[in-house]
């Protein structure tokens, strides 16, 4: 079996076609690499490029693209609605055929070392992370470019490769190895970002601060629920326990979830939560989502990453977004894919759609 790796670097430039084309050209110049997709976004000021090839060729193309991005993108002048920290903001390697995740980790390490040798700070994330605190991309990119100088000054955030000093032009790169991710955006019939945020926080695995009182139609208008000395509300239902251990038992027995793991992912110290907000669980696991407005579409948009489509498929999230939008008196007007999608994911959603179309008039699936 031939070896095939996918690479999906994101670049902090979505408006200057000359810059985007020059980066894509560096990738296409590598023998054996196939450029699958170049998706620029003017509002996010970000371009997602997807290419595949044998491991050695893919890592060579990624390094060339990262070097070109550093030469053509000035992060000190960059503005856009997407979270970002560097010129080649994130660069994941994904196993496709004949390679393992460990192989992709080795590719991420090689790419990180080579980029670091250019004088650019590099962090490794996901399966390539060198510590649990660096596994989640959002945690690594917290503070974004504007907070990078102070982050680099902290010993716990010393880069995995490259200098710890701030490079104002290139910023820092985040390179890693991960499973296949589907980037999926849902458009809403409004230009009000609050709707997109509110629905995104409801859908995503991380969830949001739990609230009570005036939570309809906008959940964020309610009062934040906090932990007390002897009051421990559940984030998945209305149960209130009298201790952390009792809440953990309830969370396990009633919801089949690990409370300690849930709050560890949120950087909560389990022994000192009194006075801190309770987190409400999101509707789906393996889903990340944020809201923004795309001026080109004249729409607010829910930007979604499906990190395991076998657990949470795109059509399930779309149907939930429709339900949540209807509760707020608006509608979903369409959706779009960024990059490429596995055939199995398309097939599963296609089967769902065929069943929905064949359902009797008036049924839930036929609406």
Q: What is the pLDDT of residues 35-65, one digit of tens each?
A: 999 999 888 899 999 999 999 999 999 999 9
- 22, 78: one domain: yes
- 276, 293: one domain: no
Residue 365 lies inside a defined structural domain of this protein:
no
**Cα-based angle 190, 193, 197 (whole degrees, multiple of 5):** 115
> What does the pLDDT read at residue 225?
97
pLDDT band for position 365 (cuts 50, 70, 90): very low
> What does the pLDDT read at residue 363?
47
Q: Tell me the per-residue pLDDT of 194-221, one tens digit each, with 9 for 90 and over.
A: 999 999 999 999 999 999 999 988 888 8
> What does the pLDDT read at residue 19?
98
Domain boundary pick from 280, 299, 315: 280
SS (H, E, C) the chain: CCCEEEECCEECCCCCHHHHHHHHHHHHCCCCCEEEEEEEECCCCEEEEEEEECHHHHHHHHHHHHHHHHHHCCHHHCCCCCCCCECEEEEEEEEEECCCHHHHHHHHHHHHHHHHCCCCCEEEEECCCCCHHHCCHHHHCCCCHHHHHHHHCCHHHCCCECCCCCCCCCECEEEEECCCCEEEEEEECCCCHHHHHHHHHHHCCCCEECEECCCCCCHHHCEECECCCCCEECCCCCCEECCHHHHHHHHHHHHCCCHHHHHHCCCCCCCCCCCCECEECCCCCCEEEEEEEECCCCEEEEEEEECCCCCCCHHHHHHHHHHHHHHCCCCEEEEEEECCCCHHHHHHHHHHHHHHHHCCCCCCCCC
Q: Tell me the per-residue pLDDT of 141-156, one tens digit each, with 9 for 90 and over.
A: 999 999 999 999 999 9
Output the six-digit token pair for 365. 């699936």
- 18, 91: one domain: yes
> What does the pLDDT read at residue 192?
94
- 249, 169: one domain: no
d(CA 136, CA 147): 17
- Domain span at residue 341 reads 182-204+284-358
Residue 361 pLDDT greater than 60, yes or no: no
Residue 200 lies inside a defined structural domain of this protein:
yes
Give catalytic residue positions. 82
Q: Partners of 127 in the beta sheet?
A: none
Residue 215 lies inside a defined structural domain of this protein:
no
Residue 324 lies inside a defined structural domain of this protein:
yes
> What does the pLDDT read at residue 270?
66
Q: Tell me the per-residue pLDDT of 288-322, one tens digit each, with 9 for 90 and over.
A: 999 999 888 899 999 999 988 989 999 999 999 99
d(CA 289, CA 303): 5
d(CA 24, CA 36): 10
> What does the pLDDT read at residue 360?
53
Domain boundary pick from 280, 297, 323: 280
Domain boundary pick from 280, 302, 329: 280
Residue 49: HSE in the Cβ half-sphere, 13 Å Cα cutoff: 31
- 106, 198: one domain: no
The two most distant CA atoms of the chain are separated, in Å, by 64
360: left (phi over 0), alpha (psi -120 to 50) or beta: beta
Task: Give me the number of domains the chain comprises.
Answer: 3
Residue 266 lies inside a defined structural domain of this protein:
yes
Q: Tell me the per-residue pLDDT of 242-254, one tens digit each, with 9 for 90 and over.
A: 999 999 999 999 9
Residue 213 lies inside a defined structural domain of this protein:
no
pLDDT band for position 358 (cuts 50, 70, 90): low
Q: Tell me the per-residue pLDDT of 70-128, one tens digit each, with 9 for 90 and over.
A: 999 999 999 988 889 999 999 999 999 999 999 999 999 999 999 999 999 999 999 99
- 190, 111: one domain: no
What is the distance, to the nearest Å, from the Cα of residue 132 to the centroid of all Cα atoms in its chain?
17
- 290, 344: one domain: yes
pLDDT band for position 271 (cuts 50, 70, 90): low
- 193, 276: one domain: no
pLDDT band for position 366 (cuts 50, 70, 90): very low
- 95, 144: one domain: yes
- 162, 70: one domain: yes
CATH number, domain at 304? 3.30.70.670
Q: 274-311 burial, b if ≥16 CB within 10 A, otherwise e?
A: eeebbbbbbbbebbbbbbbbbeebebbbbbbbbbebee
- 11, 125: one domain: yes
Mean pLDDT of the chain: 92
Residue 364 lies inside a defined structural domain of this protein:
no
**Cα-based angle 164, 71, 296 (whole degrees, multiple of 5):** 105
Please state whether beta strands 10-11 and 4-7 pair in parallel, antiparallel, or not at all (unpaired).
Answer: unpaired
Of 210, 183, 201, 179, nearest to 278 (Cα)? 210
Residue 260 lies inside a defined structural domain of this protein:
yes
CATH number, domain at 92? 3.30.990.10
pLDDT band for position 357 (cuts 50, 70, 90): low
> What does the pLDDT read at residue 196?
96
- 47, 141: one domain: yes
> What does the pLDDT read at residue 367?
36
């Amino acid at each position: 079996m031939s070896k095939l790796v996918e690479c999906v670097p994101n670049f902090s430039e979505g408006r200057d076609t000359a810059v985007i084309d020059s980066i894509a050209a560096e990738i296409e110049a590598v023998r054996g690499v196939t450029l699958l997709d170049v998706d620029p976004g003017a509002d996010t000021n970000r371009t997602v490029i997807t290419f595949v090839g044998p491991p050695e060729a893919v890592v060579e193309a990624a390094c060339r693209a990262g070097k070109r991005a550093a030469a053509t993108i000035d992060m000190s002048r960059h503005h856009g609605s997407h979270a970002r920290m560097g010129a080649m903001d994130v660069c994941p390697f994904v196993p496709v055929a004949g390679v393992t995740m460990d192989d992709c980790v080795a590719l991420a390490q090689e790419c990180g070392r080579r980029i670091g040798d250019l004088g650019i700070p590099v962090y490794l994330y996901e399966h390539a992370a060198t510590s649990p605190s660096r596994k989640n991309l959002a945690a690594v990119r917290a503070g974004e470019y504007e907070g990078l100088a102070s982050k680099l000054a902290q010993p716990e955030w010393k880069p995995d490769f490259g200098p710890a000093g701030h490079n104002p032009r290139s910023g820092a790169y985040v390179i890693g190895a991960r499973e296949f991710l589907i980037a999926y955006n849902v458009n809403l019939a409004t230009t009000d970002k609050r709707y997109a945020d509110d629905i995104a926080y409801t859908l995503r695995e991380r969830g949001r601060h739990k609230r009570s009182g005036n939570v309809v139609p906008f959940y964020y208008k309610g009062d934040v629920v906090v932990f007390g000395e002897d009051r421990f509300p559940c984030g998945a239902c209305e149960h209130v326990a009298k201790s952390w251990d009792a809440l953990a038992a309830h969370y396990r027995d009633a919801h089949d979830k690990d409370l300690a793991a849930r709050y560890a992912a949120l950087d909560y110290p389990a022994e000192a939560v009194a006075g801190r907000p309770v987190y409400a669980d999101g509707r789906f696991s393996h889903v990340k989502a944020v809201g923004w407005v795309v001026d080109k579409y004249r729409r607010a948009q829910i930007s979604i990453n499906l990190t395991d489509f076998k657990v949470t498929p795109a059509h399930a999230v779309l149907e939930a977004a429709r339900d949540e939008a209807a509760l707020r008196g608006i509608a979903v007007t369409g959706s779009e894919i960024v990059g490429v999608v596995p055939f199995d994911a398309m097939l599963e959603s296609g089967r769902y759609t065929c069943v929905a179309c064949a359902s009797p008039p008036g049924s839930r699936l036929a609406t």
